[in-house]
Amino acid sequence: MKWHRALHELAVTLRSARSAGDVYSYAPTTTQLTRWTESELGGLVPATLSVAELARWRSFDEREITGFYYRPPSRFTGNRPVLINIHGGPAEQSLPVFLGRSNYFVNELGVAIIYPNVRGPSSYGKTFLTLDDGTKREDAVKDIGALLDWIRTRPELDADRVMVAGGSYGGYLVLAVSTTYSDRIRCALDVVDISNFNTFLKNTESYRRDLRRAEYGDERDPAMAAFFERTAPLNNAGKITKPLFVVQGGNDPRVPRTESEQMVTRVKQNGTPVWYLMASDEGHGFAKKANVDFQSFATVVFMKAYLLGDAPLAAPGKP
């Protein structure tokens, strides 16, 4: 927000489920709101886009966890499959903003999307921020377990068709959920993941290590290193029995590709279907349009095959 010094108006950029980002000005003396831009939605009709609802559920410790829930259009009947999309950070948070390409999942595939804000985001207060630090990391995984419980109480949702997705730290949570609640999900999409905090802290760029140690724990402490080994998705990969799609940038300085590659190798040993998409010209997530398009199309195919079940299943280890 910015004040206009001469006109005494407040300028605001507003993003919402039906606006990718538009500029407004507000005059407090006259209460007049003026819209200055019309964001380009690529042919989407704003009125048809799902608006987020605030969902609330109780976790294992009776703490309230919230998230944003997008319902598919009413033309989709019956219990709807669910995509749980977990934010990274972990101090970041999900907001009810424009979904972009994810509108396709809701409007065309009829998939409900839930963006949970599990413990850790900075905007919920200092206590909530630290509830997942160090050896409390698994408590954030339990928040997703509680969300799975909540989904089962919703008559419009299909608790037997749930997909988890996330990137970076969210990718770690996807892997942790896949090992802890494998019997309660249908498939998973993991983007630039952390598969073992010991190897991650060893291989991430040196300028980031101390900052990440303050959040995750210091792997140089034998007790912490032992905790990392015990809880690492990599070391619990044998429990992953549902299809996994791993996406990685070949030049990622934050979460090196070795984190994804070691996980892919381990999960394939289960005979579990594993798709691996690596772009050699990308870093921490895809940015180039051709790569973003390819990832999006591949994700749709993966969801149709394993979440919706209306496409032939791939052989283990092959897309």
Residue 48 has φ and ψ, to the nearest 5°, of -90, -5
Q: What is the biggest distance separating any 2 CA atoms in the chain, rounded to whole angstroms?
A: 68
Q: Across the 319 residues of the chain, what is the mean pLDDT of every consecutive 10-residue run?
A: 81 90 91 90 88 96 96 94 93 89 94 95 89 92 97 97 95 95 96 93 89 89 95 95 95 92 94 94 93 95 90 42
At 312 the pLDDT is: 46
User: What gap in Å lies between CA 200 and CA 77, rounded to an integer?
Assistant: 43
Neighbours of 228 (CB within 10 A): 23
Q: What is the pLDDT of residue 310?
A: 54
Phi and psi at residue 189, in whole multiples of 5°? -120, 120
Residues in the chain, overall count: 319
Is 246:279 a contact under the CB 8 Å cutoff? no
CATH superfamily of 50-308: Alpha/Beta hydrolase fold, catalytic domain (3.40.50.1820)
Q: Which residue has the tokens 């989709």?
A: 76
Q: What pLDDT score does 89 carry? A: 83
Burial 231-245 (b: 16+ CB within 10 A, else e): bbbbebbeebebbbb
Contact 167, 192 (CB under 8 A): yes
Q: What is the predicted pLDDT for the residue at 185?
A: 96
What pLDDT is stored for residue 297 in this prediction?
Answer: 95
For residue 259, what pLDDT is reported?
A: 93
pLDDT of res. 108:
94
Confirm whether pTM is higher than 0.75: yes
Tracing tokens 């799902």 back to the chain, one arrives at: 50
Predicted pLDDT at 223: 95
Under DSSP, the state recorded for 167 is: E
Whether 208 contacts 214, CB under 8 Å: no
Do 25 and 4 contact (CB within 8 A), yes or no? yes
C-alpha dihedral, 290 to 295 to 296 to 302, nearest 10°? 150
Residues whose CB is less than 8 angstroms from the CB of residue 275 and which lie 6 or more positions away in sequence, other chains included: 243, 244, 245, 246, 298, 302, 314, 318, 319
Residue 6 CB: number of other CB atoms within 10 A? 6
Task: Return the closest-CA partner of residue 134 out of 259, 233, 203, 225.
Answer: 225
pLDDT of res. 201? 92
Q: Give the pLDDT of residue 311.
A: 45
The predicted structure's pLDDT at residue 42: 82
- Inter-residue contact 188 to 209 (CB < 8 Å): no
- Who contacts 317 (Cβ-Cβ below 8 Å, separation ≥6)? 268, 273, 274
Q: Extract the runs of DSSP E, i.e. beta strands, from the chain.
A: 2-3, 10-16, 19-27, 32-35, 53-58, 64-70, 80-86, 112-117, 157-167, 187-191, 244-249, 274-279
Tell me, what's the pLDDT at 38?
86
How deeply is 192 buried, as exposed, middle or buried, from its count of CB atoms within 10 A (0-12, 13-18, 19+)? buried
With contact defined as beta carbons under 8 Å apart, do 181 and 241 qualify?
A: no
The DSSP element (H or E) to which 177 belongs, if any, is helix 169-180
**DSSP category for residue 51:** P
The answer to whether the beta carbons of residues 119 and 198 sit under 8 Å apart is no
